[in-house]
Structure 1
Amino acid sequence: MAQPTIRFSVIGLNHPHIYGQVNLLLRAGAEFVVFYAKEPELIAQFAPNYPQARQAQSMEAILEDPSIHLIISAAIPCERAPLGIRVMRYGKDFMSDKPGFTTLEQLKEARKVQAETGRIYSICFSERFENRATVKAGELVKAGAIGKVVQTVGLGPHRIRLTERPDWFFRRQQYGGIITDIASHQFDQFLFFTNSTEAEVVASHTANYKYPQYPELEDFGEVLVRGNCGSGYIRVDWYTPNGLNTWGDGRLTILGTEGYIELRKYCDVAGRPGENHLFLVDHKEIRYLDCNAVDLPYGRDLLNDILHRTETAMSQHHCFLASELALQAQLQAQRLGNL
């Protein structure tokens, strides 16, 4: 028998990641029903891409619709958690763009409401869920290809594109800081690949080396994290030069006791064209894997979790812990001076 169709809606279009969130659910077979946003210019860009979805006149119209199972959002970062908490209280599941939280207080309240309601609060960590090389690395690690994972090194460089950024991008209270924002991806991958269920931030630093005209912006961040099953180093920045043919040379190195994996997610500098490059080194050989045909299961797994109240896409503990580590690292980060 065919499974029931999950009907979803969108509230908040402030980050372009919303297109990826919608598309992964459509690929998985969900039905996009309705959307709401306050900004006419964002609606004008978004609506023509999804003619099957109608525009709601208010957020409440979506929250109060009993036929909607899931609400997704890429609102301004500081607005995502309050929305997600409301969504859960209305008896619906929620998927946020990263970061899912900008303060520890938001996280504490979300944990409380999630425990009370039993709803799903998921964060779309796209650098893992929507990257085929990272998905393949997860399969290899699970199969024991490099032994026991003991460390991850996650690099998250980004191109800043200053003239394209909205005002909230430069306001610390709204975007949360560089570690809260970008490095949430790297904390997610650290926990996933080391299989850590507990972790602590050992040291963290942030800086604004290049853009003093935006005093609340951070353009560099780094973190050392220690888990109960491994350690990790994270570096994020807004320095990707215009000469690179993509927005960032994102990389992940996974060190195991019997080998290592390096992912060159979005490009291979001076090497192979395209994305999703995986290199595996073990006791036998060096292997290259083109991962462009690897399946992306997150959307399908999330819909299955909504139907069956399971945690196959990502455990709630993992989602909240990855966010907590990013928030804690941001909060305790030492601010480095100008070079």
Structure 2
Amino acid sequence: MANKLRIGIIGAGSIATAHMHGFGQLQEDVILDAVTDINLELAKNRAKEFGVRRVIESSEELLQDKSIDAVVIAVPNKWHAPLAIQALQAGKHILLEKPMAINGEAAKEIRKAQKESGKIVMIPHQLRWQASALEVKKQVEDSSLGKIYYAKTTNLRRKGIPGWGSWFTQKELSGGGPLIDIGVHMLDLTLWLMGNPKPVSVYGSTYAAFGPEKKGLGSWGTPNWNGTFDVEDLATALVKMDDGSTLSLEVSWAAHKDTDDTATVQLMGTEGGALLKGNTLRFYTEKFNQPIDVDIPVLTEESERILLNKHFIECIREGKEPISSSLTGLTNNLIIDAIYESSVTGKEVLINWD
């Protein structure tokens, strides 16, 4: 057994605890070595709860600690790029929470720093690791669906605006609303299932019908009634790919709609189709001139969080590219930027890869 990887955690909020729990199940491979947060009391409580060895007073101090091999960055979006770049310059591998950056330009800066450092950057999109998603990916790679020419993905919440007035609802800190919060997951998963075609243009619209009126509030996050809401609460878009395929996206934090809040992906291919809705999986095809629907039972052996943590460890050990690499993170950021721009201009926007 190789030496255990020493992991540092920057941020001690809810998402950080998911990583602490996940890596805590993999003690044969890693040591949860340190945690830091601007709220040191919270960091101390998390360290005690999850068995993290040390609490460090600042991210700067943690990143300069030469005994730490890799860091998890789980802080508000505005600080993703600054901390990631500092971490890479300090020689750390990174598990960087989504979205990779607050916008495409910041994502490009992370990519530049990564190339200079030679370190691993992985975006922990846990939906890729759900058993149902892995089964769809297998069928796509086996060509069971043929060429996928159209995909539709939705994640519509009826009443789920998180932490009104907190960093979630302030564009300067978050970069946007449900599009950059949950839409990034749906874009990432769907593009991966489609075979990672290259996006070339976007037409999109965003709306703020609930948040400004303090309606549609959910239970996630801590509200700050002295704060602001200057992001969208619903986004929709059509993304065109270089191979001619198209992706349709709908996401909301709040909407007057009958919805169970379940993330959904529909794939339509020349030989078959697939519906992925949570852990429900159905395939569609045609035989003997008759439509055939097949429901596939999905058996979950390990949680998606454990699987993605294992993949991160494996990539560091073997020096290989993560399946949710910094390039996929940049792709998501560029699409999101284009959707926001299209919503303002009312026109189709070409994606800027330069």
Superposed counterparts of 1:1-339, under 5 Å: 2-14=1-13, 16-28=14-26, 29-40=29-40, 42-43=42-43, 46-129=46-129, 131-158=130-157, 161=160, 164-165=163-164, 167-178=166-177, 179-213=179-213, 215-229=229-243, 230-239=245-254, 248-265=261-278, 276-284=279-287, 285-293=292-300, 295=302, 296=304, 297-334=307-344
Unaligned 5+ segments in structure 1 are: 266-275
TM-score by length of 2: 0.82
**Aligned residues with identical type, % of pairs:** 21
The 2-side partners of 1:194 and 1:74 are apart by: 28
Change (3 A) 1:206 1:309: same
The 1-side partners of 2:25 and 2:113 are apart by: 30
CA contact (8 A) 1:157 1:237 kept: yes
CA contact (8 A) 1:135 1:294 kept: no
The 1-side partners of 2:12 and 2:201 are apart by: 32
The 2-side partners of 1:74 and 1:185 are apart by: 16
CA deviations 1:144-178 (Å, max 9, x no partner) are: 22222222211122465558556112211111113
Deviates more, 1:151-160 or 1:5-14: 151-160
Change (3 A) 1:80 1:252: same
CA contact (8 A) 1:36 1:59 kept: yes
CA contact (8 A) 1:224 1:232 kept: yes
The one-letter code of the counterpart of 1:61 is E
Change (3 A) 1:51 1:159: farther
The 2-side partners of 1:76 and 1:312 are apart by: 23
Cα displacement (A) at 1:294: 5.0
CA contact (8 A) 2:122 2:322 kept: no
CA contact (8 A) 1:102 1:327 kept: no
CA contact (8 A) 2:169 2:176 kept: no
What root-mean-square deviation, in Å, do the aligned CA atoms of Structure 1 and Structure 2 show?
A: 2.6
The one-letter code of the counterpart of 1:238 is W
CA contact (8 A) 1:196 1:228 kept: no
Q: SS at 1:128's partner residue?
A: helix
TM-score by length of 1: 0.85
Cα displacement (A) at 1:282: 1.9
Change (3 A) 1:177 1:163: closer
Residue matched to 1:273: none
Q: SS at 1:239's partner residue?
A: coil
CA contact (8 A) 1:225 1:232 kept: yes
CA contact (8 A) 2:202 2:338 kept: no
Q: SS at 1:225's partner residue?
A: strand
Q: SS at 1:290's partner residue?
A: coil
How many residue pairs match? The answer is 321
